[in-house]
Amino acid sequence: MVQEKLKCLNKVFKYLPIPRRNTLTVVFFGKTGVGKSSTLNALFELNWPVDNAVACTRKPQFTDFKPSDHLDVSYQNIRVVDLPGISESLIDDQKYMGYYKKWIPQADSLVWVTQADTRAYKQDEIFLKKLNPLFKKSLFFIVALNKIDCMGIYEGDKPFDTDNGKPSEDQIKLIPEKIDDIYTIFKNAIDKKIIFKKEQIIPYTSVHKWKLDILKSKILLRS
């Protein structure tokens, strides 16, 4: 009799909605000038200041909002945090470290924004190793690989296809190689502190919005 009641209860619980947690905290981080603020503006329809020459994010800025109804997520609120960029100067890096130490341990998801049109990832690697102790084991780590539209043009390859809003064939061929490079560098820096798979590297462009929807899904669904 008891077993039959348990079976009935299991059937009922199977179809009950999953209780939602209160808040998902998503922290955006990366070098200055890689397009963090422009990415946030494009992803979440914000109007935060951006500038190609001068750093606009001097202090952490954040916004809270409700997840869209069509997203099957297990939380009621989303907090998006934009941290000041690294590598503007040694003085600024030291000054901002207090912000990083405050916000990164609170992050459920950390979106590390970097750029595709460079081979210089030394500062990313250095800071990843510095911040490693702040990562909690449940942290979902994403590498947002911005500026796909700028990749390859200095090597004589065909530029981004602005008419169709997608990379050229030459750029498409370069993307897997770029992802492999990023994965090797970042995986070594993380040093198994958290789970990090190649699928957590999302190439996109905040300017032309190519693959921006995939980045947003990865951030909010954490899968």
- Amino acid 18: pLDDT: 40
Residue 110 covered by a domain: yes
- Neighbour-count burial of 82, counting CB atoms closer than 10 A to its CB (0-12 exposed, 13-18 middle, 19+ buried): buried
- Residue with tokens 């979106």, as numbered in its chain: 111
Say which CATH number the domain at 141 has.
3.40.50.300
Residues 98 and 160: beta-carbon distance below 8 Å: no
Domain presence at residue 11: no
Per-residue pLDDT of the chain (223 residues; tens, 9 = 90+): 545 544 554 444 344 444 446 889 999 998 888 888 889 999 988 887 665 534 445 688 889 988 775 466 778 889 999 998 886 667 877 888 889 999 999 999 999 999 998 888 888 898 899 889 999 999 999 999 999 999 887 656 678 899 999 999 989 999 999 999 999 999 999 988 899 999 999 999 999 999 999 999 999 888 7
Three-class SS state of 144 = strand
Enclosing domain of residue 160: 21-221
**Are the beta carbons of 55 and 32 closer than 8 angstroms?**
yes
How many other CB atoms are found less than 10 A from the CB of residue 64?
10
Q: Classify the phi-psi angles of 192: left when phi > 0, otherwise alpha if psi is within -120 to 50, otherwise beta.
A: left
Q: Can you give the pTM of this predicted structure?
A: 0.81
Task: Give the amino acid at 112.
Answer: W
CB 58 within 8 A of CB 65: no
pLDDT at residue number 66: 84
Establish if 147 belongs to a structural domain: yes
In a domain, 179, yes or no: yes
Assess if residue 97 is contained within a domain. yes
Domain total in the chain: 1
Query: What pLDDT score was predicted for residue 16?
Result: 40
Is residue 2 situated within a structural domain? no
Domain contains 138? yes
The answer to whether residue 1 is domain-embedded is no
